[in-house]
Structure 1
Amino acid sequence: MDSKYAKLLEPMKIGNMNLRNRFIMSPMGTFTPMQDGTESEEGIMYYEERARGGFAMIIIGAQFINEKTAQGGPTIAFDNNRAIPKTTVLCERVHRWGAKICAQLSPGTGRNGMPDIGERVPISSSENPSFYDPNVICRALTVDEIKDIIKDFAQAASFAQKAGFDAIEIHGHAGYLIDQFLSPIWNKRTDEYGGSAENRARFAVEIVQAVRNTVGSDMPILFRIALDHRFPGGRTLEDSMPLLEILEKAGVDAFDVDAGAYETMDYIFPTAYVGDACMAYVCKEARKHVNVPLINAGNHSPETALELVNSGDCDFVMFGRQAIADPEFPKKLMENRREDVRPCIVCNEECIGRIFGRLTQLSCSVNIQVCMEKYFPITKTDSPKDIVVIGAGPSGLEAARVAAIKGHHVTVYEKSDDIGGILKIIATAPFKKRIRDLIEWYDVQLKKLGVKIKLNTEIKADDTVLDYADKIFVATGSLPFIPNIPGIDGKNVIGVIDAHEKGVSGEKIAVCGGGLSGCDTALELAMKGKKVTVIEMLSECAQDAMPINKISLMRMLAENAVTLLTNSKVTAIEPNGVVIEKKDGTRKTIKADTVITAFGQKSDTNLPDAIRAKYNIKTTVIGDAEKVAKVGEAIRTGFYAAMAVE
């Protein structure tokens, strides 16, 4: 095949199962199953769209084998035969596009049980503290209960086979229940399920054997395992190798390997801060110990995937959030359309963030159609409109893209000399590369769609172009909030946006405002070798950061020696630094060569209000101009605005 990515497009086998390429969609919870234990139409279409997009195999998110031990979100009822018919529909809808489908089965989360779901006392391998509330001590499973779980696995495997799944993956990952048996830090048992590596692996081995006895020799069994927990006392790469060897002998046909546990949750749901291919390192050692295929996930791009497969250390590469962001990206690589691959920006906001924060179904910051494919098809209009978009930030770009796909005539007016708005200006750090990629993707898409982009053009409310427009989308963004602080207009003071755009002089830097923007800026400057202090009035920094992202951010701020001063109010800015006042009323001066103000943004409402006043019926204000929010919400408002034009 004439493609740079030809190696990734080669067919390969797992056991007796033929796969059309080396792209596998990672198992991820969706929160789409219904209360009766069947998958919803939203969930089925979500998986089907990824099969249509060219993945060789779809691994559905962890399905719990029964309600009693689950302690997690809604999944398909693999313990209820009444759910088989609808699950068969799921499998056949995936098969219709030439992809295989794999059921990932889990006995439950154990000590990682979500606190907002269920009232049961958590179970575990031993009497371990609950992850979310260490004051709650988990109950150790009895041997009889272990045997019951193994029987339940056999029943779930039979369900999977009847429904039409091509493979089964056993979830021994992330510090969930099986992993709690595998790991000495959680397994303190003195019976046949604790102690030596063989005993700690016994629970997993008996599960593998029960599944094999149920499904026969032709149905592949995969095993997902984190080889390096990455926290003190957790299992190391070296510790995990004997477990792999034991499990291969038990009949595992492929290993799905990565790193992390809930104690290092920013590897379970890798953040932008940990970088691309952040868990590929585990493959090299694993390759030495097993002969079956290896699968790896963790912030992969097509390029890191290609590099890993070419190294010989791994056979298949899994894509999770990238598959959410662009379900067609394998097909695009097959067609040599790398520039059309919409990048996942690794923000965690609308995927795991929605699930953890709102207990609602999966979505995506850059792909608003996720899990809403049935309701949000972008279809051609029979009556094209002339649409004016004012502002080329993320909301304006998305509105222009969707409107153009629908067949409308779109012109974007941007007063600066480039597209991307504030989002592009602040995306200067290495950990914001995916944001730069997203803006470049919009540039390519709008050009291909024939959208007219007029740069260095400022629109006023009385411009005649607005008279002739059928619809007006106002996406003028936001402005910095500047409090009334003595010295804030000094020569040594620069706003956070200007700091990204123009650079920062001096070696000692004080960042006033410890929200996500201020902390990201501080980290970027510290990574360049500057000595940075963040001053925050509240009791902690980065309170607006997605909690999993915050884990990485705080760790990296510490590693780069950034000083965080909380409960500290900026009372004045002087030529030699910042005067702060602590809660007890004491004051001190933080020496700084340059002071960066990062007090947040406010909507730029002047033009939106003026245009609304004149053209109310045909005007929609979107993005930060309507409400200051994160990038995903800005893109969502642009998508909705364009979809509403019929």
Structure 2
Amino acid sequence: MAAGTFDHLFEPYTLKGVQIRNRLVVPAMGTNLGNEDGTVSQRLIDYYAARARGGFGLIVVEGVAVNPTGMCIPNEGHFWDDANIPGMRKLVDAIHAEGAKTLLQIHHAGRQTNPANIGGLQPIAPSRIACPVDNVLPREIPTEEVYRLVEDFGNAALRAKKAGFDGVDIHGAHGYLIAQFMSGHANKRTDEFGGTFEGRMRFPLLIVRSVREKCGDDFIIGFRMSYDEKVPGGRTLEESLVVAHQLEEAGVDLLDVSIMTYASTEYMSANGALPNGYNQFATEKIRSSVGIPVIAVGRITPAMGDDMLRTGKADFIAMGRGSLAEPALPAKLREGCIDEVAPCISCTQSCLGYILSDRIYASCLVNPVTGHEGEYDFTPVEAPKKVLVVGAGPAGLMAAKTAAQRGHHVVLCERSGEFGGQFRLAAVPPTKHDIAGAIRYYVTMCKKYGVDLRLNTPVDEELMRSLAPDAIVLATGSVPAMPPIEGIDNASFLSVADVLDGRVLPGAKVLIAGGGMSGVETADFLSEHFRSCTVVEMRPDIALDEEYTPRAFLMRRLAEKGVQAITSARITRFHDDGIDYEQDGEAKSARGFDNVVLAMGMRADNPLETAARAITDEVYVVGDARHAGPANKATEEGLAAGLAI
């Protein structure tokens, strides 16, 4: 694509005397990359500096807690005293040195946390109503303490100014403390901070005024708000139009328009079930009701973002997970290299998924360098080696790309006629189409770095010896598991690959043996084609290995399409038309199906390791060939192999 296609994205914007070089924003996203004591780590600095170096105009540094009860993730920054100002100054200097401007998000979790994150303290909230997700009963904040919290926000903003930030982003979205005060869903108070719209707005408006009084007129005040909380009794767009106007009157310079609370998280870190730009028309409504600039967010592609700017739907475009996947996104767009942009595939495996895991920092399935920007060395090697990579799934493609990027001579052999392995089939079920973009990206980068790509090339010992590689990466993938159950070895049974690769179109009534991700997504695919599907699973529920956000939409679709689930069921025998199974100690049967699809997991397929080790001492086994698992582990292992050679 020719340079200049995204002209609107690269228009500068001056706000409060601060010139921002373009309209591309890295929004605040909790990464957990800070130190455990709440101070700024070098890893955090490297992460943000990479995105500034990549060309983003405005970077909103992730939320810091304004007092000790405010943290929502373990390594969130502490900003309730001056001790962290020097570390923040280093972070600001690193961002400014790369040409970007930066705001610091000031934050309090309110009820959306748990005692483990806040030193054993009880969470606080406007009312004694637990967060539906964290499910911890909070302490209701006395009126006089609310006024002290206003000062906490104002003092945190002043510290941000002392650290050199160009402004702050007041976090009034996503169901955190300020949003709780603003919402009838969480705020049931009868004092001056509740009871009516005016009462619920008192807390955020006092915070804005406090920040302005403490920081002066030469300091940007941004405010992040959820235009729709997607919970019963929560704020909707109708009220948010008034909220936006009142915030502007109180002194806010920049609105960051988002969506959701913890009880509706699937609308924030959304997967392909929501369309690209799903917030754009609500954002346009808010922008048309205020005279200050507005940031849009929500699965926005570069082309869509440019069009939103062109048509006046927003003034800035935030690319959150897009910036996780590709820190150099602006630079690549400006250079006309859109095919070299690592795409976000909305999987949430290594971003939200890792954050929801205990004390794990955010990364990215497509680009596992994320979170390790200062650790991994891509300097070209002094003595290039000849490298053979066997298998073109995500692990093999990542290993080949990385090794070639470092200057090695790489041959990639794939026995089939297509790239992607099992990952390619994962793009077939409804809403999973973005995965295909990741495979395309890997192939593009392999070609850029000179990988010799050979499809329809099965590898055996003879071929390995003829290529005489110095190093071999085995990424031969996995094959379906076949547990020892009577009748399972039936030639009429189908595999998930048979269905998703279009080899067979099953009959009207289908039994799927296995309720993990692959089996359930196959049911989703078949039910879209008006097949009646029943899924059988040993565990208490289906799709338990699916990430939180895609699972929320997946389970709704399955319910709407009438997919049946037999859970806590151990299959004891297969028949041509169904199964016998045991459930709660009772023997049962499910028969009368036109087809049986086996989705009982995968096992590693690694037939070449012994032969490979006889040829060279440098052999790496990666991805499913090492241990069948999720795609993010495959790309991480492929990256590690490519760096180790």
Q: Fold-level match, TM-score > 0.5?
A: yes
Distance 2:531 2:289 in 1: 44
Q: Is the 8 A contact 1:494 1:594 kept in 2?
A: yes
Secondary structure in structure 2 of the residue aligned to 1:274: coil
Distance 2:208 2:464 in 1: 71
Moved more, 70-79 or 207-216: 70-79
Structure 1 residue 157 displacement after superposition: 1.2
Matches within 5 A, 1:49-128: 49-106=50-107, 108-114=108-114, 116-117=116-117, 118-128=119-129
- Contact 1:258–1:280 (CA under 8 A) maintained in structure 2: no
The alpha carbon displacement at 1:362 in A equals 2.1
Shift of 1:71: 4.9
Within 2, Cα distance between the matches of 1:503 and 1:342? 33
User: What is the match of residue 30 of structure 1?
Assistant: 31
Determine the C-alpha separation between the residues in 2 that align with 1:575 and 1:307.
54
1:644 is aligned to: 644
Letter in 1 for 2:357: G
Letter of the 2:532 counterpart = K
SS at match of 1:431: coil
Residue correspondence of structure 1 range 253-264 to structure 2 within 5 A: 253-264=253-264
Structure 2 equivalent of residue 352 of structure 1: 352
Counterpart for residue 371 of structure 1: 371
Change (3 A) 1:306 1:574: farther
Question: RMSD of aligned C-alpha atoms?
Answer: 2.0
Please report how far the alpha carbon of residue 66 of structure 1 lies from its aligned counterpart in structure 2 after TM superposition: 1.9
Distance of aligned partners of 1:368 and 1:216 in 2 relative to their CA distance in 1, 3 Å threshold: same
2:431 alignment partner in structure 1: 431
Once residues 381 and 500 of structure 2 are traced to their aligned partners in structure 1, the CA distance between those partners, rounded to angstroms, is 41
* CA drift at 1:310: 3.2
Letter paired with 2:293: P
For residue 583 of structure 1, report the CA deviation from its aligned partner: 2.4
Could you tell me which residue of structure 2 aligns to residue 226 of structure 1?
226
SS at match of 1:110: coil
Q: Could you tell me how far 1:100 is from its partner in structure 2?
A: 0.5
Alignment of 1:371-450 (within 5 A): 371-450=371-450
Aligned equivalent of 2:214: 214
Deviation at 1:165, TM superposition (A): 0.6
The answer as to 2:185 corresponding to 1:185 is yes
C-alpha change, 1:371 and 1:390, in structure 2 (3 Å) is same
Q: Output the CA distance in 2 between the equivalents of 1:53 and 1:495.
A: 43
Partner-residue secondary structure (3-state), 1:517: helix
Per-residue CA deviation, residues 146-185 of structure 1 (Å, 9 max, x unaligned), is 1111111221111111111112110011111111100112
AA aligned to 2:612 is I
Q: What amino acid maps onto 1:324 in structure 2?
A: L
Per-residue deviation, 1:360:
2.3
- Give the TM-score normalised by structure 1: 0.95
What does the per-residue CA deviation read over 1:541-564, in whole Å, with 9 as the maximum and x for residues that have no partner? 112222343223222222332222
- Provide Cα deviations, 1:242-271, integer angstroms capped at 9, x if missing partner: 222221211111211121111111123223
**3-state SS of the aligned residue for 1:345?**
coil
Could you tell me how far apart the structure 2 residues matched to 1:466 and 1:368 are?
A: 33
Greater Cα offset, 595-604 or 417-426:
417-426
Percent of residue pairs bearing the same amino acid type: 35
Pick which of 302-311 and 496-505 moved more.
302-311
Paired with 1:157 and 1:166, the residues of 2 have a C-alpha distance of 11
SS of match in other structure, 2:273: helix
Q: CA contact under 8 A between 2:115 and 2:122: conserved in structure 1?
A: no
Letter of the 1:304 counterpart:
M
Q: What is residue 583 of structure 1 aligned with on the other side?
A: 584
* Structure 2 runs not aligned, ≥5 long: none
* Structural mapping, 1:334-349, within 5 Å: 334-349=334-349
Contact 2:425–2:497 (CA under 8 A) maintained in structure 1: yes
Aligned to 2:19: 18
Give the Cα separation in 1 of the matches to 2:584 and 2:115.
33
CA contact (8 A) 1:580 1:590 kept: no
For the residues of structure 1 that align with 2:591 and 2:258, how far apart are their CA atoms?
43
Kept in 2, the 8 Å contact 1:72–1:109? The answer is no
| Amino acid across the alignment from 1:345 | I
> C-alpha separation between the residues in 2 aligned to 1:546 and 1:295?
27
Deviation at 1:467, TM superposition (A): 6.7
User: What is residue 561 of structure 1 aligned with on the other side?
Assistant: 562
- Give the equivalent residue in structure 2 for 1:194: 194
- CA deviations over 1:113-156 (Å, ceiling 9, x no partner): 1354231111101111243454x421111122111111112211
Other-structure match for 1:480: 480
Deviations 1:88-128 (A, max 9, x none): 1111111112110110001x211111354231111101111
Aligned length: 642
Give CA deviations for 1:465-511 in whole Å, capped at 9, x if unaligned: 36721101111110101234455454652100121112423222221
1:469 matched residue in structure 2? 469
Please tell me whether the aligned partners of residues 25 and 55 of structure 1 are also in contact (alpha carbons under 8 angstroms). Answer: yes
* Residue 72 of structure 1, CA deviation: 3.7
Distance (whole Å) between structure 2 residues aligned to residue 344 and residue 242 of structure 1: 33
Task: Quote the offset at 1:200 in angstroms.
Answer: 0.4
* Equivalent-residue separation in structure 2 for 1:280 and 1:572 (angstroms): 52
| Residue 285 (structure 1) aligns with | 285
1:87 maps to a residue whose letter is M
Query: Greater shift after overlay, 563-572 or 475-484?
Result: 563-572
Q: TM-score, normalised by structure 2?
A: 0.95
Runs of 5+ consecutive residues of structure 1 not aligned to the other structure: none
**1:620 CA displacement:** 1.1
1:111 is paired with a residue of what secondary structure?
Answer: coil
| Kept after mapping to 1: 8 A contact 2:133/2:262 | no
Going from structure 1 to structure 2, the CA distance change for 1:503 and 1:171 (only over 3 Å counts) comes to: farther
